[in-house]
Amino acid sequence: MIKACRPKLEEKLKFFISFHSNTYSYTHLKDELVATHTLDDQEYKLTLKYSKVIDDTDPEMFTFHAIFFKSMMRMMEFEQLGRNCFNPKKAVTIQGLEVWPGFYSAMNNLEGGPLMQIDLTSKVCRKDCVLNHLKDLERKNYDKERINEECKFMTVVTSYSKAGKHTYKVERIDFEKTPSDTFTKKDGTEISFGEYYKQQYQLEIRDRNQPLLVSKNERTGNEIYLIPELCEMTGLTDKHRADFRLMKELSGVLHKSARVRH
């Protein structure tokens, strides 16, 4: 509802951030702000009322700054992984590897107010797909439980969205589901995962028997199913680490001098 009414709300509030039932803005709202939106012939009304002013001593100010920071990262199309934010659009390619520049951030609530600590970091992404990694583990005679352990909390990258590259943290592998299984879309219709990717992204799934990766949306907690064939690996392999020339080139990008980091 907030998203649908955003243009009208911005006329009065200019810039604002919404989190759960609270809306934060630097504009003082003297009167109630009412916005309406019609969906499926049903009119919905959104009413905003002034609550209070939060200052640096208010514990809620810490929450506001954290939400504000995440909102800025989304607006700049950064990818957030835990406390790290990366910019895939500024990636540097080195011998087939992509290095995403980014930074680490942490916030503490001190007596003088919120303090944000920021430092540079990077993410190395590979071009090999997750399906090949799963098949390598199977060739090593890993059972399903061990494969799940190897892949749990692994970060993968998808490139098929028009919005650009996105990262996901793998919670588990669902060996009971394949791209041929179906799910229910928002409009109530059933569609297979394979057919969905074909319609939405014009991608043909070659291996219809591969298991599915399961990630979780950090904001909603909803499970997201990903197809290994369409996901790319991240991080360095032992073969990469043994390549002296590659590691020397990467070092120039990954390890910045104190003058650059300042």
Q: What is the 3-state secondary structure (H, E, C) of 7-34?
A: HHHHHHHCCEEEECCEEEECCCCCCCEE
Say how many Å lie between the first and final Cα of the chain, rounded: 41
Q: How crowded is residue 52: how many other Cβ atoms within 10 Å of its Cβ?
A: 7
Angle between helices 144-151 and 130-139 (to 10 degrees): 140
- pLDDT, residue 207, reads 94
CB contact set of 72 (below 8 Å; sequence gap of 6+): none
**How far is residue 15 from each of residues 27, 173, 191, measured CA to CA in Å?**
8, 41, 39
Q: Are residues 74 and 150 in the same domain?
A: no
- pLDDT, residue 261, reads 59
What dihedral do alpha carbons 109, 115, 120, 126 form, nearest 10°?
30
In a domain, 134, yes or no: yes
Q: Which residues pair with 161 in a beta bridge?
A: none
Q: Are residues 172 and 227 in the same domain?
A: yes
- pLDDT, residue 200, reads 92
- pLDDT, residue 77, reads 81
Amino acid at 57: T
CATH code where residue 130 lies? 2.170.260.10
Q: Are residues 131 and 224 in the same domain?
A: yes
In a domain, 239, yes or no: no
Rounded Cα distance, 142 and 129, in Å? 18
Q: Are residues 147 and 158 in the same domain?
A: yes
Give the number of domains in the chain: 3
In a domain, 243, yes or no: no
- pLDDT, residue 258, reads 64
Q: Are residues 170 and 110 in the same domain?
A: no
pLDDT < 50 stretches in the chain: none
In a domain, 55, yes or no: no
157, 91 in Cβ contact below 8 A?
A: no
Phi then psi for residue 160, to 5 deg, are: -85, -15
Nearest to 230 by CA among 185, 262, 198: 198
Nearest to 260 by CA among 125, 124, 119, 123: 119
Say what the pTM is. 0.66
- pLDDT, residue 206, reads 93
- pLDDT, residue 262, reads 53
Task: Show the domain range for 222.
Answer: 126-234
Nearest to 194 by CA among 160, 169, 227, 152: 227
